[in-house]
Amino acid sequence: MNDWKPGREDPHAVKTRVVGRVTFDVVRGEFDSFELVAEGVREVRTINNGRRELGA
């Protein structure tokens, strides 16, 4: 038995957008740099963590 698994499914999702720049050296076949940021919104509510969404 798993005590952390709720008896029902709560809807959940993560919507993200990744922005930035990545450079790739085609001669060496390697990435040179990653300058990335991910921003997003978490959409979840479970009975286990006690968190509530804004506006809920």
Render pLDDT for 13-52 as a digit per residue (tens, 0 to 9).
Answer: 889 999 999 999 999 999 999 999 999 988 776 655 555 5
33 within a domain of the structure (yes/no): yes
Write out the residue range of the structural domain in which residue 40 sits: 12-44
Sequence-distant (≥ 6) Cβ neighbours of residue 50 within 8 angstroms: none
The better pLDDT of the pair 2, 17 is held by 17
The CA distance from 33 to 23, in Å, is 5
- Residue 7 pLDDT level (bands cut at 50, 70, 90): low
29 within a domain of the structure (yes/no): yes
Report the pLDDT value the prediction gives residue 36, as an integer from 0 to 100. Answer: 95
19 within a domain of the structure (yes/no): yes
3 within a domain of the structure (yes/no): no
51 within a domain of the structure (yes/no): no
Report the pLDDT value the prediction gives residue 14, as an integer from 0 to 100. Answer: 85
- Residue 56 pLDDT level (bands cut at 50, 70, 90): low
Instruction: Characterize 16-53 residue by residue with b for buried, 16 or more Cβ atoms within 10 angstroms of its Cβ, and e for exposed.
Output: eeeeeeeeeeeeeeeeeeeeeeeeeeeeeeeeeeeeee
